[in-house]
Amino acid sequence: MPVLPDFESAEFPPALKAMRKQLRLSRTALAQQVQLSTAAIQRYEAQDGSHIKPSREAYERLCAALSGLLAESPAEPVRAPAAPAPAPQAVAAPAPAAVPDVLLSEATLEQLIARAKMLGAKKVTVEF
């Protein structure tokens, strides 16, 4: 009855990741559903040295939450593509105008971040 392979199985990490992506959930959203940390979900999905196995209790919570979300999912895919599509266009359109031809040495931090996002960066880290 579980929707995932046994947590001891080598198929568990890729199956968890595939199911999370199928449901269009971020790691954070799934972690909130099952009352775990985002880092725990990341390490459950990892297929390298950082991989950890969930406890039996965590595994059961994951299966229960994913079962419930899968039962609700037929209605969600219809709504999901319609809502996100306008948002990126609205955010992306002002970025080119916000960063006119500015020399790198004269650009503000905000202009540099806007330019990086315009070029496709999903995350910008600034260290001093």
DSSP secondary structure of the chain: --SS--TTSTTHHHHHHHHHHHTT--HHHHHHHHT--HHHHHHHH--STT--PPPHHHHHHHHHHHHHHHHHTTTHHHHHHHTTTHHHHHHHTHHHHHS-S--GGG--HHHHHHHHHHTT-S------
The more confidently predicted of residues 128 and 34 is: 34
Poorest-pLDDT segment among 14-18, 30-34, 37-41, 104-108? 104-108
Do residues 44 and 16 lie in contact, with contact meaning Cβ atoms separated by under 8 Å?
Answer: yes
pLDDT of residue 41: 92
Poorest-pLDDT segment among 10-19, 27-36, 102-111? 102-111
pLDDT of residue 115: 79
pLDDT of residue 125: 81
Mean pLDDT of all residues in the chain?
77
Do residues 12 and 71 lie in contact, with contact meaning Cβ atoms separated by under 8 Å?
Answer: no
Q: Does domain 12-80 have CATH number 1.10.260.40?
A: yes
Residue 51 burial (C-beta neighbours within 10 Å; 0-12, 13-18, 19+): middle
The residues of the chain that CATH labels 1.10.260.40 are: 12-80
Rank 49-58, 65-74, 105-114 by mean pLDDT and report only the highest. 49-58
